[in-house]
Structure 1
Amino acid sequence: MSIGAFLARVLLLIIVVIWTVPTFGLLISSFRDKDQLAISGWWNALQNVQENQAGRTGVATAQQELDGQFVISGNVFSEGSTQSVASFGGGFVPGEITDYEPGTVVELEDGTTFRLDADGTYEYASTEPFELDRGLRFFYVANIPPYFSLDNYEEVLTSEGFAQSFINTFTVTIPATIIPIVVAAFAAYAFAWMEFPGRRFLFVIVVGLLVVPLQMSLIPLLRFYNTVGATFDFAAKSYPGIWLAHTGFGLPLAVYLLRNYIGGLPRELIESAKIDGASHFQIFTRLVLPLSVPALASFGIFQFLWVWNDLLVALVFLGKQADQIVMTSKLRELLGSRGDNWEVLTSSAFVSILVPLIVFYSLQRYFVRGLLAGSVKGG
């Protein structure tokens, strides 16, 4: 193996690792407990996590007299908890939170004693009866062992309206993928094999539309929809409206890819069909379309992924009713207006990519062939 080939493989391996590590971390985080997600990174998922917590003693009505002492006891952890106490201190206990080890009996200035064990059990003892209307606060460092569950996925999948939003996403994505493919295929054939005035100029305009930012066209397009919607009944806040919007945004790339691919087909094949008396429509449907499956599949993957993961266009062109809200908008609602439930992003990311992964791996055999053939040679 040459040095160049070895370096190329090493570079490829580095790129793969850099690309994969964040996804791997997101996958691990999706199974972690919400509290652990908030205080440690995914690389600490197999380690005990330490967290500062606060507890309170019971009140006077909870005291018991044992061996001539009055004792208030309890446990800072809930039943079945696997946490343990690493140290304690602070609050009504003198010192810092790390000053005392579990099981240490701390003598207070008023003659009372306090002890906190590793399992969370505490005893607050005095020779005189307690007169506490409210428990006294103390602090401790808790060891939290690793915990993995499907709670994050359950929260997403069982949330109200999620199933309907999943169906709505299919309702948007499937037509918004098929329509631009059909339109672009006809246009690409015309640009590649039909002679008409201004063909090259029109194709340059189509390619130029690739650089138009989607965000700049949303408001003008929305106003246009609102203007003509009363007449044609496909205004914004409807499925036809968002289908046409995604079609318009996807057509430039579709026409560019398909035109280059179709233009690269053997000229002899097209001319033989013309000699046999085939019309352009017959050539397109019987020859060009079957030979263009790789290019069609390549663009189909791009368009499906784009529409499936879209949030901005859906927010503009669809309403917030249960029968219209798409999955990305639903997950945004679960996140909360202030991002309080950000941990659902870890599980929702993998829920949302399940369908695109199935589509990609189903069509991947056409993907590279379609892109290479459409980018190397033009008609």
Structure 2
Amino acid sequence: MAKIAGKKSGLVWAVHLSVAALVVLWLLPTAGLFISSFRTADQIATSGWWSSLFSQEQNLVLRTAAPSTQRQEGNLWVIEGNLLSEGGASAEAEISTWGTTSRAISEYEPGATAPMGDSARVTVQENGDYRLESDVELTGTRGDRIFVTAELPPEFTLDNYETVLFSGSTTDSMAKAFFNTLTVTIPATVIPIVIAAFAAYALAWMEFPGRALLIAAVVALLVVPLQLALIPLLRLHLSIGIGKGYLGVWLAHTGFGLPLAIYLLRNYMVGLPRDIIECAKVDGATDFQIFTRIILPLSFPALASFAIFQFLWTWNDLLVAKVFLIDATGETTVMTNQIVELLGTRGGNWEILATAAFVSIAVPLLVFFFMQRYLVRGLLAGSVKGG
């Protein structure tokens, strides 16, 4: 035994390594989503998010100013400007090579002069400054294309969040969907907790006929698939006039969440000290007073653990919202459904999709990190204790 004391078994190290690997696997895509939400479409298309903190070489298609800006200098018609600033690139970018056709985008070095048609020529400098000269007056409505390879510094933007949260377009705006999701999630979390707390106390501490059968029914309902009850429940809601609205989806989430809530809370309450309950009854406390003043404060870890689960499940739900919250006008669209719509309308705009997805997971992350200390305590107590 002396040789073993102070040493950790190999299983402990395996557990630690497994947890570390799971944390890394979870953090990497989340960090990539967060960083991508601040990048432009060109940056996402040309490089991975892991290289966003370093300067990157990118191929850009830029244009000179329109012929309407030309001025005459002697016998020449001249257009001057900066390709990078006019193209929206960073002022710190540097051009390494450039060209006048897509087949030869690296034909010229900075400072070289290239022909542009029969009577014009252009000179491009490393900082993006250019001078376009022509022997005849330039015509047209748009400038000439210049293909450049530039070293771009790290650049981040809040434009994606402005587009997602404040765009007036129904398919782009996540602000309304955000508040719609809160409207669904908060009542759908509070209602089952309130009902389950009363039911759990009754099943744990009150004697009445059929209690064991009710407990068995609650356990049996835990294994009933959600999809099995969707259509019958929707028909019931439609028959009583609460289908396709907030009330219907609240009651649906309440019904689907109650078995787990009652099971966890009942098992937790059974494990509370019996002496406290009996002393309160001897002092003349009613069941309601015992429940509100003793049981609820002591059961806060279990209540918080279920609240986390119910909130995360309801917030990330798509199936129940699709079935019980149908709205062709988009007035009650939740965030998960809004992201599905973005996949159809913005399938190629990965910067918009990344921003919308991160907005969707931000609130669950905050809820989890603020209440996670109660999660393990509530789950362990509600899982291993019983009576």
Q: Does 1:76 align with 2:83?
A: yes
Structure 2 residue matching 1:21: 3-state secondary structure: helix
Alpha-carbon spacing, 1:304–1:52, altered in 2? closer, same or farther (3 Å): same
Aligned to 1:2: 7
Query: How far did residue 371 of structure 1 move?
Result: 1.3
Aligned to 1:366: 374
Alpha-carbon spacing, 1:239–1:131, altered in 2? closer, same or farther (3 Å): closer
Query: How far did residue 241 of structure 1 move?
Result: 0.9
Q: Does 1:310 align with 2:310?
A: no
Aligned to 1:343: 351
Query: How far did residue 329 of structure 1 move?
Result: 4.3
Structure 1 residues 1-379: aligned runs within 5 Å: 2-4=7-9, 5-6=12-13, 8-55=15-62, 75-79=82-86, 81-82=89-90, 83-89=93-99, 91=101, 96-106=104-114, 113-123=121-131, 129=136, 137-160=145-168, 164-196=176-208, 198-229=210-241, 235-271=242-278, 280-318=287-325, 319=327, 324-330=332-338, 337-379=345-387
Query: How far did residue 18 of structure 1 move?
Result: 2.8
Distance 2:355 2:162 in 1: 9
Alpha-carbon spacing, 1:43–1:186, altered in 2? closer, same or farther (3 Å): same
Q: Which stretch of the first structure deviates more once superposed, 142-151 or 116-125?
A: 116-125
> Matched residues, percent identical?
56
Alpha-carbon spacing, 1:56–1:347, altered in 2? closer, same or farther (3 Å): closer
Q: Deviations over 1:336-364 (max 9, x none)?
A: 62434442344444544554455445544
Q: What TM-score do you get using the length of structure 1 for normalisation?
A: 0.79
Structure 1 unaligned residues grouped into runs of 5+: 230-234
Alpha-carbon spacing, 1:136–1:352, altered in 2? closer, same or farther (3 Å): closer
Alpha-carbon spacing, 1:56–1:327, altered in 2? closer, same or farther (3 Å): closer
What is the aligned length? 371
Query: How far did residue 52 of structure 1 move?
Result: 2.8
Alpha-carbon RMSD: 3.7
Q: What TM-score do you get using the length of structure 2 for normalisation?
A: 0.78
Which residue identity is paired with 1:290? P
Alpha-carbon spacing, 1:157–1:278, altered in 2? closer, same or farther (3 Å): same
Query: How far did residue 370 of structure 1 move?
Result: 1.2
Aligned 8 A contact 1:335 1:344 in 2: no
Alpha-carbon spacing, 1:325–1:56, altered in 2? closer, same or farther (3 Å): closer
Structure 2 unaligned residues grouped into runs of 5+: 1-5
Query: How far did residue 50 of structure 1 move?
Result: 3.1
Q: Which stretch of the first structure deviates more once superposed, 64-73 or 369-378?
A: 64-73
Alpha-carbon spacing, 1:211–1:136, altered in 2? closer, same or farther (3 Å): same
Aligned 8 A contact 2:268 2:381 in 1: yes
Which residue identity is paired with 1:174? I
Distance 1:58 1:172 in 2: 51
Alpha-carbon spacing, 1:129–1:324, altered in 2? closer, same or farther (3 Å): closer
